[in-house]
Amino acid sequence: MRLLTHNMLSSNIKGVANGFPLLIEVEKVIEKQVDFNPDFLKNIFPKIEWQALVQASRSMGYSELPEESPESSMLDSDDFLMKFHH
């Protein structure tokens, strides 16, 4: 599952107070190459729950994202966008 998709999911089980973010238990990581699309990343960025994305990426062994949510000006940085894309 893509981490951006995971970031949009929540549990709707009755009685669950806060069903977000869903916990990821990693058994196997497969990285698939996809086309780099900076426009998509810039448009999805405001919808992302940053701390949940960082937590999920760290659980998968990827630690290149900054801990704190970046300023929107970082969206002009190709270096940041490539890390966000990964």
CATH of the domain at 21: 2.20.25.10
pLDDT number for residue 55: 87
pLDDT band at 76 (very low <50, low <70, confident <90, very high): very high
Q: Helix H segments across 1-86?
A: 3-8, 38-44, 50-59, 78-85
| Whole-number Å distance between alpha carbons of 48 and 42 | 11
* Least confident segment among 24-28, 44-48, 52-56: 24-28
Of 81, 55, 54, nearest to 69 (Cα)?
54
Average pLDDT over residues 6-14: 62
- Give me 51's structure tokens: 């701390």
Name the one residue in this structure whose structure tokens are 């960025």: 45
Question: How far is 44 from 3, CA to CA, in rounded Å?
Answer: 12
Task: Note the pTM of the prediction, 2 decimals.
Answer: 0.69
Domain count of the fold of the chain:
1
Closest CA to 22 of 59, 64, 74: 59
Domain that holds residue 15: 3-85
Mean pLDDT of 24-35: 79
